[in-house]
Amino acid sequence: MAYTGSDLRIQGDDNLQSMIVGTVMRKIKSRTWKKQRYFKLQEDCMTIWYKSKKAGNTHSTFSVSDVETVREGHQSEVLLSIADEFPPGRCFTLVFRGRRGNLDLVADSADEAQSWIKGMRKLIENLENMAESEKLDQWICEWFKKADKNNDGRMNFREIRVLLKMMNVDMNEHHAHRLFMTADKSQTGTLEDDEFVLFYKMLTQREDVLRVFQDYSGDGQKLSLRDLEEFLRDEQLEEVDGVQQLAMELIERYEPSETAKMLKAMSIDGFLMYLASAEGSIFHPRQQSLYQDMTQPLNHYFISSSHNTYLMEDQLLGHSSVEGYIRALKRGCRCVEVDCWDGPNGEPIVYHGHTFTSKILFKDVVNALRNYAFKVSEYPVILSTENHCGVEQQRVMAQHLNTILGDKLLKTTLDGKIPVSFPSPEELKGKILLKGKKIGGLEESLNGLVEPDDSLTGEVSDEDEAADIDEDSLHSNSLRRTAKKSKQRLSKELSDCVVYCKSVHFSSFKHSRIHSKFYEISSFTESKARKHLREAGEEFVHHNARQLTRVYPSGLRTDSSNFNPQEMWNTGTQIVALNFQTAGVEMDLNDGLFSQNGSCGYVLKPDFMRMSERRFDPEVSQNREGYQPRSLCIQVISGQQLPKVNIKESSVVDPFVRVEIHGLPLDQAKQETRYIDNNGFNPVWYDTLRFTIHAPELALVRFVVEDYDKAARNDFVGQYTLPFSCIQQGYRHIHLLSKDGTSIPSASLFVHVRITNLV
């Protein structure tokens, strides 16, 4: 199809033209795996095609939209391992979104590498700046190319029928043929260019949106300024005072017709574009930006946290990689973990001890922290250490932290005085805090009472997961280990790097209340944390109003699965450490909670969890001060362009929607719509689901689409999770995410939301 957008991008750009001609480059997987591949950019400027020089006709493709960024030179472990063989000027890395592995490439010359680096960066930038209408055109173009089997730039009815199956539509053949004939204005028996766009528009006619539009339109043809104001006020519940100004801004922003703009009116096309935009999304745009008070003490925030960050796979045989830290930090994670052991040549190494996971250098982890800690968020990063090193290599650790991180490492209290409470994330911007054992307390350090040759003999690490496995598996022989907590000396140099996060053994909530300092932090396995929640939930919340707590997965989770983080957030636990490498509902909840507040990795806890003078029991939420339950009513109206989950060409999904509430035990709930037979393209439900939410401040709402299967397990199609407090009411679109947390192009749900106060 002749889309001029891609033509204009190519014209006058030597890099893109060179990419379209194609280049032979080496694809590198390790020091020993280096294979030549032929790479070229397709003419749509959206797809990279590549094939082996020896593999006949087999080839692979990936979309430019899948690529998050391009790294130049030796900026991956793989390329660093072959640095002696290929100079940095010929090397680059394509970093994909989600959990997909990087693509490391070596060009034959620095000039060829630059063509691809600059060309890919331009394509990524173009995509980011593309208007919604352009993205739609591009999407239509991609479908056309997929179905145009003989590449003649035309589409006959047979190809159209194949296309409908690919697009998840099981349409009556007579109806499909009628649409085809209507679109075939040239009466040639084929569709090309504008005819295919017309066919697509008839196919995607939104009767559900048209019904809403006509309910508010005075003449059925357009929304006048007054009509639009009424819709925004009555349905979208926009603030009355600014509604006229908002209506005019929306017309200016989304109305494609200049005539309608002059009349201060909105057509159905403009109305649909508004509803499909970020402003029409279920997530309130204002709460996606940084909107919370960041000047509260650090322990007043939930903190996005990763467990065994170095692992890319499972906990026994998995690959350790610096890439784990880069990916976690780029997802807004603010607490990462290192598991340190004595390594060869006097260099500490990081790996999961007592297992067969691979090993990386501690100094490489620290370098990754220096380079990536503050790219996504400027708020502080906590480096949680599980330290098994002897004193000599502890000194090396301290040296690396000081020399590599420099001023980024927090080495003393902010004002040099003895503090009485945590500083705020705002005050700690750009700082990396070490969490670990410390000789004495802050008071002794600041008063110079710790002698230079002092060292602490005892448990160097506050959590040894090998020992935890032994404890967790009392009733299981499959993973029994004889590991014991290590008793080693702690070097003063490493101790001095710990300021506000001193790891201590936990005795009891009563002991902590009487004896603990605010900067002392305890870590629990999930099973211990559940025990505390069960036996003393109110005390647990009260403890977390004064101190930091970290909870991490049971050692039995050797497959890197995750526990439900919501349970721990219900106790006010700040550092709920998850295996970021493992997709699933647990990471969906984590991503959902931290998608607010500018995705900065810090979310302010509800006030009833921050005030030590107030009491809150997660099991009895009705007894708290300020209790205000809410009713949530969601009408699931329709779905759009849901992806296929079965690779069979004839397969079409039977979708249904499940809405889940995650929060306090009293609020945990889920309800489902009916399933729709054979229609993933534009299913319509109009099913209403109702929930009562007792602690809306803690609740997350998860929308899940699945493919119904009466004989087997339902297949996952897409999901979207957000905090209850961030929901926009009215008619809203929900833009679905894959299992990996990446966006699914054009896939959405259309819903109507109403929230009312109860009591």
Residues that are catalytic: 307, 352
Place of tokens 């990536």: 372
- The label of the residue with tokens 């087999």 reads 58
Q: Both tokens of residue 573?
A: 């636990």
Between CA 694 and CA 494 the distance in angstroms is 46
Q: What is the CA radius of gyration of the chain?
A: 28
| Beta-strand pair 498-503/520-525 | parallel
CB distance 467 to 486 below 8 Å: no
Q: Could you identify the residue written with the tokens 């204009």?
A: 8
d(CA 217, CA 224): 7
The residues with which 458 forms a beta bridge, in sequence order, are 488
Q: Is 58 helix (H, G, I), strand (E, B) or coil?
A: coil
Taking the C-alpha atoms of residue 613 and residue 746, their distance in angstroms, rounded to an integer, is: 49
- Per DSSP (E only), the strands in 111-221 are 155-156, 190-191
Burial of 276 per CB tally in 10 Å (0-12, 13-18, 19+): buried
DSSP alpha helices (H): ranges in 276-390?
285-288, 323-330, 362-372
Alpha-carbon distance of 54 to 72, in angstroms, equals: 28
* DSSP code of residue 711: S
* DSSP conformational letter for 605: P
Pairing relationship of beta strands 549-552 and 520-525 according to DSSP bridges: parallel
617 close to 538: Cβ distance less than 8 angstroms: yes
Nearest residue to 423 via CA among 376, 384, 377, 379:
379
Of 273, 249, 277, 272, nearest to 261 (Cα)? 249
Surface-to-core class of residue 598, CB atoms within 10 Å of its CB (0-12 exposed, 13-18 middle, 19+ buried): buried
Match 């295919």 to its residue by tokens: 196
How far is C-alpha 415 from the geometric centre of its chain's CA atoms?
Answer: 36
